[in-house]
């Protein structure tokens, strides 16, 4: 994930690792256990399309 973050934000690998660590630490008090070292960046466009479709399908037509 650090490699993706480095390219996406135009920062060094060290800066990316530091920012991801900061995000993990910020999430911990709220009970979120983030693991960016093992995260896999993906394109979520299809998931968003599915959510939009499901909402439209669940809405009664007038």
Query: 3-state class of 9 per DSSP?
Result: helix
Within 10 angstroms of residue 16's Cβ, the number of other Cβ atoms is: 20
In the block, residue with structure tokens 């499901």: 54
pTM here is: 0.65
6-42 per-position pLDDT tens digit: 999 999 999 999 999 999 999 999 999 999 889 988 8
Within 10 angstroms of residue 5's Cβ, the number of other Cβ atoms is: 19
42-55 per-position pLDDT tens digit: 889 999 999 999 99
């Amino acid at each position: 994930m650090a490699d993706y973050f480095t390219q996406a934000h135009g920062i060094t690998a060290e800066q990316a690792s530091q920012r991801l660590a900061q995000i993990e630490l910020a999430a911990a008090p709220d009970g979120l256990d983030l693991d960016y070292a093992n995260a896999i960046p993906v394109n979520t466009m299809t998931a968003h399309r599915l959510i939009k479709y499901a909402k439209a399908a669940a809405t009664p037509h007038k």
